[in-house]
């Protein structure tokens, strides 16, 4: 079956989650962050994901903005900057303005020009995602932005992946699902989507019951995978 719909995870896939820490470290007032920004960015992202999984498992759902703040608090304490309230606020403010990876606009435009449906499917809350899409100028190349908030549980619960078929009326095998998270791409493959893992860091494949159909170093090759 031909691909009709290309669906993307947001954070780390379309949007560079390290950008907030990198930009904050460039501020003259944040000299203390400069030696630690990469470590902080890594800790922040990991805790953000871990907290989403734990909340999903325990039924303690909250919106992704709270999870993002809690992950940041852990990361700031881990690098010895927990007492810097101004830095914390600056990092959170920047998270609403994350930069898209350089290849993203042209890649999405190629998909749209070929007549494919495009969407985001994300753990992010609707207002967070709206801010990121507007900041990156991607609104005209996305048909929809789907948030887990409509089902009240984080990925990789199957109810999240169900949102794609409910919105676009397509079977799973007509969907190319793209994520920078290996576990997300694997779970989506188990659900029945065709999947691509954007493995920018060259990490090993996760030991899970399913594996992504494709592994890429960036998003440039997505139109080719979608047979555009």
Give the DSSP H/E element, type plus range, for residue 40. Answer: helix 37-58
Tokens 């560079």 correspond to 16
Structure tokens at 103: 């290849």
What are the angstrom distances between the C-alpha of 212 and each of 58, 128, 184? 27, 27, 9
Considering only CA atoms, give the Rg of the chain.
Answer: 17
Give the DSSP H/E element, type plus range, for residue 68. Answer: helix 64-78
Beta bridge partners of 144: 119
Strands of the chain, DSSP E: 5-8, 117-122, 144-147, 175-179, 194-198, 214-216
- For 114, other C-beta atoms within 10 Å of its C-beta total 13
Provide CB contacts within 8 A for 38, sequence distance 6+.
Answer: 18, 21
Q: Which one of the listed residues 9, 27, 63, 184 is annotated catalytic?
A: 9
Tell me if residue 184 is catalytic.
Answer: no
Active site amino acids: 9
């Amino acid at each position: 079956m031909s691909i009709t719909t290309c669906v993307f995870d947001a954070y780390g896939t379309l949007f560079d989650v390290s950008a907030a820490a990198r930009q904050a470290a460039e501020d003259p007032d944040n000299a203390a962050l400069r030696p630690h920004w990469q470590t902080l960015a890594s800790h922040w992202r990991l805790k953000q994901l871990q907290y989403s999984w734990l909340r999903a498992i325990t039924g303690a759902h909250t919106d992704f903005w709270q999870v993002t703040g809690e992950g940041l608090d852990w990361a700031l304490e881990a690098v010895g900057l927990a007492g810097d309230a101004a830095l914390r606020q600056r990092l959170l403010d920047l998270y609403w303005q994350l930069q898209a990876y350089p290849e993203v606009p042209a890649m999405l435009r190629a998909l749209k020009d070929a007549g494919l449906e495009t969407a985001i499917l994300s753990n992010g809350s609707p207002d967070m995602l709206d801010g990121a899409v507007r900041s990156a100028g991607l609104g005209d190349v996305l048909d929809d932005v789907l948030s887990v908030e409509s089902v009240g549980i984080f990925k990789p619960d199957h109810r999240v992946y169900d949102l794609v078929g409910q919105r676009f009326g397509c079977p799973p095998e007509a969907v190319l699902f793209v994520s920078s998270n290996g576990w997300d791409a694997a779970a989506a493959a188990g659900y029945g989507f065709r999947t691509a893992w954007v493995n920018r860091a060259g990490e090993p494949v996760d030991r899970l019951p399913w594996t992504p159909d494709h592994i890429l170093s960036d998003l440039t090759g997505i139109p080719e995978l979608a047979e555009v």
